[in-house]
Amino acid sequence: MPLYAIVWRGKDINIQLAPHKYGDGKYHMAKRKGEYIHVDFDKIIPRIREGYGLRMSDPSKKHPPGLIMPQSIQGWK
């Protein structure tokens, strides 16, 4: 099952977000905003289990990447 999150507030309600891949080919994760680590895709789920949030976006809807915490991410349990 793919990783995703659903926006549940604001103007983009019900948009489905996916992990945001940056230009360096990595995904950015953090326990707190501003303290990012850069990881490969295969390291995302172990980091989510450690409590890290994942930057997720929906480029097709022009929804920029935001830090989504583990309790809001689906598809990893």
- With tokens 């326990």, the residue in question is 31
Inside any domain, residue 30: yes
Range of the domain at 23: 5-58
Inside any domain, residue 49: yes
Inside any domain, residue 76: no
Neighbours of 33 (CB within 10 A): 9
What's the domain count of the chain? 1
Distances (CA, A) of 34 to 2, 16, 29, 31, 70: 26, 23, 10, 9, 17
Per residue in 6-61, pLDDT tens? 998 888 899 999 999 999 999 999 998 889 999 999 999 999 999 999 999 998 88
Q: In sequence order, which residues have a C-beta less than 8 Å from that of residue 76 and are 6 or more positions away?
A: 3, 44, 45, 48, 49, 70
Q: 0.85 cut: is pTM over it?
A: yes
What is the pLDDT confidence band of residue 1, given thresholds at 50, 70 and 90? low
